[in-house]
Amino acid sequence: MKLCVIGTGYVGLVAGTCFAESGNDVVCVDKIAEKIEALRKGVVPIYEPGLEELIRRNVAEGRLTFTTDAADAVKRTVVCFIAVGTPPGEDGSADLSAVLAVAREIGRAMDGYRVVVAKSTVPVGSAERIRAAIAEVTKHPFDVVSNPEFLKEGAAIDDFMKPDRVVLGGTSQRALDLMRELYDPFVRTGNPIITMDNASAEMTKYAANALLATRISFMNEMANLCERVGADVDNVRRGIGYDRRIGHHFLFPGVGYGGSCFPKDVKAVIRTAHEQGMEFPLLNAVEEVNEAQKRRLVDKVVEHFGADLSGRRMAVWGLAFKPRTDDMREAPSLTIVEGLLARGASVAVHDPEALNEARKAFGDRVTYHRVNYDALKDADALLIVTEWNEFRRPDFPRMKQLLRQPVIFDGRNLYDIEVMRACGFTYLPIGRAIVRPAS
Ligand SMILES: NC(=O)c1ccc[n+]([C@@H]2O[C@H](COP(=O)([O-])OP(=O)(O)OC[C@H]3O[C@@H](n4cnc5c(N)ncnc54)[C@H](O)[C@@H]3O)[C@@H](O)[C@H]2O)c1
């Protein structure tokens, strides 16, 4: 099948590449010329495990090309995916301007039947708005399919290649049949392609993200309560996770959720409810809890060292909003590092992939370290913000030697309490008792 994907970001680039990998001819379009130039040379602008290799192979085999010319891409293809960003507007609603601009571009370029697929996360009613925007500028027939994307950054290729489910919203059998044909190779192990109306497909994406964010905020609140009553949230997590009605996923407390999706999608649901004359107090609380949780690690630093951190040096491991990505959009690390700087601390940061992104946020206000241990030198404490695998089994004696004081604020509960005790660290996890070295 010949298809184009307009918007070559985390979603568009992964989707386009994976469709090419299953044998389709794919044109990826972006308005940023440097991004397209780089991709043509095999330079991938984002970090996503496995992506670079897949792009190289599909480019070499002629199935994947890149362009800034959306009109030309639309003329050469039958299925057109819209995968541009939908950031929150001033009032929290999803900003559809990029989606609608692309819809009009597709409409103007069409010279026959097209399936236009909304892959971006868009609020209920957007398929109708896309349809109207296209109909204004073309007489050619077309269908709009809503096809929300559920991939996770850091595991995006795997998620796209083996999705738990594919959701397709639309009313045209012709369009839905084409989409089924496109997705069939990805669901050969029996996971379903679920078809429904556009509005339900649009809402499904928001419902999924809002529910996941709710689980995170619930566990963060539960962790804070565990700290007060002397329970260990990690035991509680294991104790409830085996209940099949609950399951093990998304029960890990931490420093709050971030990223380009959860914060904006929760906001967008609240906004949609508001527009319908309905409040959504549950999601208001999810947001409020998350904002507080992003400050929790710095609160612990202040409880331990006092509010004035001038003259103190803090090391931070992990800046990306989650492991295996360089994405720092809405990352809790932004709140945490700014909180430390505002209290006068000097900050030394390390992340395996996000240092370039971090430079855009912090400039020369922090020091950057490619090697995690280098950030620890003469620091008064280490803060763990992202649970990269490489932080799980570090050289504790070496860390103790490098740190001015052996203090770890662990926002991800990576370490064993007994190991911390045996190594002589002061260890402050989330929702678990503080470990203090025997005096
Ligand atoms: N990132 C994720 O993990 C994820 C997961 C599921 C769904 N989504 C949704 O997918 C959508 C895209 O997210 P993303 O993270 O890939 O965004 P992104 O910001 O990484 O990428 C968007 C791309 O679209 C390009 N673009 C914007 N306007 C354009 C135009 N008129 N013509 C051509 N290109 C244009 C931008 O230059 C950018 O490269 C959003 O709606 C998001 O909510 C994201």
pLDDT digits (tens, 9 = 90+) for 311-364: 999 999 999 999 999 999 999 999 999 999 999 999 999 999 999 999 999 999
Alpha carbon of 421 to ligand 1 centroid (Å): 45
Atom of ligand 1 nearest to the CA of 98: 28
Q: How many CB atoms lie within 10 A of CB 437?
A: 14
Phi, psi of 312 (to 5 degrees): -100, 150
* pLDDT of amino acid 354: 98
> Is the CB of residue 101 below 6 angstroms from any atom belonging to ligand 1?
yes
For 167, which DSSP code? E
Alpha carbon of 10 to ligand 1 centroid (Å): 7
User: Per-residue DSSP letters for 203-265?
Assistant: HHHHHHHHHHHHHHHHHHHHHHHHHHHT--HHHHHHHHHTSTTT-STT----S---SSSHHHH
User: Per-residue DSSP letters for 409-427?
Assistant: EETT--S-HHHHHHHT-EE
Give Rg (Cα) of the chain. 24
Question: Ligand 1, atom 1: nearest CA belongs to which residue?
Answer: 10
> Is the CB of residue 163 below 6 angstroms from any atom belonging to ligand 1?
no
Mutation pick for ligand 1 pocket among 30, 46, 84, 326 (CB with most ligand atoms within 8 Å)? 84
Phi, psi of 307 (to 5 degrees): -70, -30
Helix axis angle, 51-60 to 10-21, nearest 10°: 50
Question: How far is Cα 374 from Cα 313, in angstroms, rounded to an integer?
Answer: 13
> Is the CB of residue 326 below 6 angstroms from any atom belonging to ligand 1?
no
Nearest alpha carbon to residue 50 among 152, 153, 151, 157: 157
Alpha carbon of 177 to ligand 1 centroid (Å): 26
* pLDDT of amino acid 110: 98
Whether 261 sits among the annotated catalytic residues: the reply is: yes
Instruction: Choose, from 18, 226, 261, 423, the residue flagged as catalytic.
Output: 261
Q: How many CB atoms lie within 10 A of CB 90?
A: 6
Look at phi and psi of residue 153 and say left if phi exceeds 0, alpha if psi is from -120 to 50, else beta: beta
Question: How far is Cα 238 from Cα 43, in angstroms, rounded to an integer?
Answer: 42
Q: How many CB atoms lie within 10 A of CB 198?
A: 23
Q: Are the beta carbons of 219 and 233 closer than 8 angstroms?
A: yes
Distance spanning both ends of the chain, measured CA to CA: 70
pLDDT in tens, the chain (439 residues): 999 999 999 999 999 999 999 999 999 999 999 999 999 999 999 999 999 999 999 999 999 999 999 999 999 999 999 999 999 999 999 999 999 999 999 999 999 999 999 999 999 999 999 999 999 999 999 999 999 999 999 999 999 999 999 999 999 999 999 999 999 999 998 999 999 999 999 999 999 999 999 999 999 999 999 999 999 999 999 999 999 999 999 999 999 999 999 999 999 999 999 999 999 999 999 999 999 999 999 999 999 999 999 999 999 999 999 999 999 999 999 999 999 999 999 999 999 999 999 999 999 999 999 999 999 999 999 999 999 999 999 999 999 999 999 999 999 999 999 999 999 999 999 999 999 987 6
Alpha carbon of 374 to ligand 1 centroid (Å): 35
- Token pair, residue 18, equals 């994976």
Mutation pick for ligand 1 pocket among 80, 166, 260 (CB with most ligand atoms within 8 Å)? 260
Alpha carbon of 94 to ligand 1 centroid (Å): 12
> Is the CB of residue 87 below 6 angstroms from any atom belonging to ligand 1?
no
